[in-house]
Amino acid sequence: MADKKAQLIIEGAAPVELPILTGTVGPDVIDVRGLTVTGRFTFDPGFMSTASCESKITYIDGDNGILLHRGYPIEQLAEKSDYLETCYLLLNGELPTADQKAQFVSTVKNHTMVHEQLKTFFNGFRRDAHPMAVMCGVVGALSAFYHDSLDIKNPQHREISAIRLVAKMPTLAAMVYKYSMGQPMMYPRNDLSYAENFLHMMFNTPCEIKPISPVLAKAMDRIFILHADHEQNASTSTVRLAGSSGANPFACIAAGIAALWGPAHGGANEAVLSMLDEIGDVSNIDKYIAKAKDKNDPFKLMGFGHRVYKNRDPRATVMKQTCDEVLKELGITNDPQLELAMRLEEIALTDPYFIERSLYPNVDFYSGIILKAIGIPTSMFTVIFALARTVGWISHWKEMLSSPYKIGRPRQLYTGYESRDIPKLEDRK
């Protein structure tokens, strides 16, 4: 792994030799761990040049628009696999055999219900609370219910917690929605697929059970697959960091949900719809494009650009195809907001400002449109992202815990006061 070396020349000090590590694919990595002996360390806010861990789960080549889970391209997973199979792959490293798949699906289904007492937690929240606020609370609260799987040193406990999280997230997400609507919460139905069951718990009521459209269930499943993992993004890094202190898995996932909430991360799909609302009409597009380009204006085109994809986001390509299928199934042809979205997409793909900066539509641009068409309110969009990403978070958590690791503790470049004495109150200005 480390046959090449880099040499660091520090003025007035002996050169430092640093090993260069080589991954399976992707750029080489300079191992700076040996730097501590020099009394110096590196400065990299935003982690633009820093790998925080070694991982075998997901590979992204942002320049070429490639996303692989355990080596399999995301386009193939979206086309030939389903969400639970993708979950198995992320958690276990290989696609399941037919028997393993049947066993995994059945185990997940055994865990879809949540403890009945968890329902009472919801009453503590205002009905108009943001669903992500409620999710942070109720997912964290799972640690108060499932004591029997909290020993993080026990691989079996880690496995059960992972399954519980994957199985219970749709139930909790739908409960959050039903609570906000003032409707009775629906129990999961294990005769349905993962995506069908989620749509059932979201949209059916005890007095009216409608069949779930296979096209919409497939679209939902694809949304889950496309959001399942994305290597060391802000929320996954948060889960790893929280986990590195020995926190229990439910608490770690609650931390991940909080990190995902922000509009620069998972909150972007909700922000896309809010932005379309704000723009209002195609006649206002030029004004908003000018705002997006203006360095003195904080406005950004939500759903465009990505920290790692400097070419097309491969998830966006699959999502756009799914978007077309859903709109056709639902007979939506002349929705003004959609027209606005399509016009924005067209401009961003042809305007030199966006081309020069490689600001392509990302996965959230299309997922927002699909979710809206399915009838999911915008405030639930990030919850759905969290539901789907839970398997990625917990796979990274499991990976970290199954090899030697240290508590995550970044350093800082201190630029505050040097040591000083406290003046008397009457002498302070």
**Which residues are part of the catalytic machinery?**
265, 306, 364
Per CB under 6 A, 233 contacts ligand CMC: yes
**Binding flag, residue 383, ligand CMC (CB under 6 A):** no
Q: Kindly write out the interface string for residues 171-210 of this chain, putting x where it contacts ligand CMC by CB under 6 A and - elsewhere.
A: ----------------------------------------
Q: Least distance (Å) from ligand CMC to the CB of residue 274? A: 12
- Cβ–Cβ under 8 Å, residues 242 and 251: yes
Distance CA 171, CA 167 (A): 8
Q: To the nearest whole angstrom, how small is the minimum distance from the Cβ of residue 297 to ligand CMC?
A: 10
Please provide the DSSP assignment of 384-397 as one string.
Answer: HHHHHHHHHHHHHH
Binding residues for ligand CMC, rule CB under 6 A, total 20
Site stretch for ligand CMC (CB under 6 A), options 29-37, 129-137, 263-271, 400-408: 263-271
Contact 95, 83 (CB under 8 A): no
Which CB, 232 or 248, lies closer to ligand CMC?
Answer: 232
Q: How far is the CB of 179 from ligand CMC (least distance, A)?
A: 26
Amino acid at 136: C
Q: Which residue lies nearer to ligand CMC by CB, 132 or 301?
A: 301
Q: Is 188 in contact with 175 (CB distance < 8 Å)?
A: no
Among 294, 357, 375, 410, binds ligand CMC (CB under 6 A): 357
**Minimum CB–partner distance for residue 126 and ligand CMC (Å):** 27
- What type of residue is 426? E
Beta bridge pairs of residue 66: 61
**Residue 338 to residue 276: CA distance in whole angstroms:** 9
**Residue 141 φ then ψ, to 5°:** -65, -20
Nearer to ligand CMC, 179 or 360 (CB): 360
The distance of closest approach from Cβ of residue 142 to ligand CMC in the complex, given in angstroms and rounded to an integer, is: 24
Q: Per rule CB under 6 A, is residue 268 in the interface with ligand CMC?
A: yes
Report the distance separating Cα 64 and Cα 87, nearest Å.
Answer: 25
Q: Give the integer Cα–Cα distance in Å for 369 and 372.
A: 5
CB 395 within 8 Å of CB 57 = yes
CA distance 133 to 136: 5
Q: Residues 306-335: x/- map of binding to ligand CMC (CB under 6 A)?
A: xx----------------------------
Of 364, 376, 389, 390, the residue at the interface with ligand CMC (CB under 6 A) is 364
Residue nearest to ligand CMC (CB): 305
User: Smaller CB distance to ligand CMC: residue 164 or 265?
Assistant: 265
Helix (H) or strand (E) holding 17: strand 16-21
Nearer of residues 251 and 359 to ligand CMC, judged by Cβ: 359
Interactions with ligand CMC, residue window 280-309 (CB under 6 A): 292, 300-307
Query: Which H or E run includes 257?
Result: helix 249-260
In the three-class reduction of DSSP (H, G, I as helix; E, B as strand; rest coil), residue 289 is classed as: helix
Minimum separation from the CB atom of position 16 to ligand CMC (A): 30
By beta-carbon proximity to ligand CMC, the closer residue of 178 and 306 is: 306
Q: 129 is written with which tokens?
A: 């609370």
**In which region does residue 359 sit, left (phi positive, over 0), alpha (psi from -120 to 50) or beta (all else)?**
beta
* HSE (side-chain half, CA atoms, 13 Å) at 294: 10
Contact flag: residue 264 with ligand CMC (CB under 6 A): yes
- Exactly one of 266, 314, 368, 392 binds ligand CMC (CB under 6 A); that residue is 266
Contact residues toward ligand CMC (CB under 6 A) are 230, 233, 264-266, 268, 292, 300-307, 357, 359, 362-364
